[in-house]
Amino acid sequence: MRKVAVILSGCGVFDGAEIQEAVLTLLHIARSGATYQCFAPDIMQMHTLNHITGEEMQPNRNVLVEAARIARGDIKALSELNAADFDAVILPGGFGAAKNLSDFAVKGAAATLQQDLLRACQAFAAEGKPAGYICIAPAMIPLIYAQQPQLTIGNDADTAAAIGALGGEHVNCKVDDIVIDKRHKVVSTPAYMLAQSIVEADTGIAKLVDAVLTLCK
């Protein structure tokens, strides 16, 4: 039975993990007959937003504690993730991927990755294990894989340009499709970078999970 590590970035599209993307990812992993374990960094969010008004809220919140809401409490600190224990890794999107797991939302082409995230994802890459990145999360791929990895966030020109500056090769992609970099065993899909409904997001995520599991040795 395949085991997949799922890395979350909080809870809520504007300051953490996109909840629908995360839940759909977990659902399709389970439906495939594989198992998953959720992880998140034990750090404070960049900020916490009111998802009705968009205004910043105080006090700020912890990424791991917030992500535990999605995982129903079954979650571990990202510092505990050992790539040797899993067959693949998948990262749902949401602004938390660009604010908490990285600073891409602020620095764009000068972005860096959170250290626990960088260590974990580079370990999967070094072991040749497949990975899936959803929505805005693929923007982190060039900081993990060398040699111009192929990826997609959909078709946003400015984001694609920043990804190119980071060293990635952006491929335009429809909302219901995926891009597979076979050399690096990395799969990406636009999801809510383009999706107008949970149904549209679901199609690409289902394909991504299937492709990631197919790439497992």
Torsion (CA) 6, 81, 69, 108 in degrees, nearest 10:
-70
Distance of CA 113 to the CA centre of its chain: 12
The half-sphere exposure of 47 on its side-chain side, counting CA atoms within 13 A, is 11
Residue 135 designated active-site: yes
Q: Tokens 């970078």 identify what position?
A: 193
How many of the other CB atoms lie within 10 Å of CB of 101?
A: 30
β-pairing, 48-49 vs 186-189, is: unpaired
Query: Residue 64 and residue 73: Cα distance in Å, rounded?
Result: 10
- CB of 115 closer than 8 Å to CB of 143: no
Options 11, 121, 135, 173, the catalytic residue:
135
* Catalytically annotated residues: 135
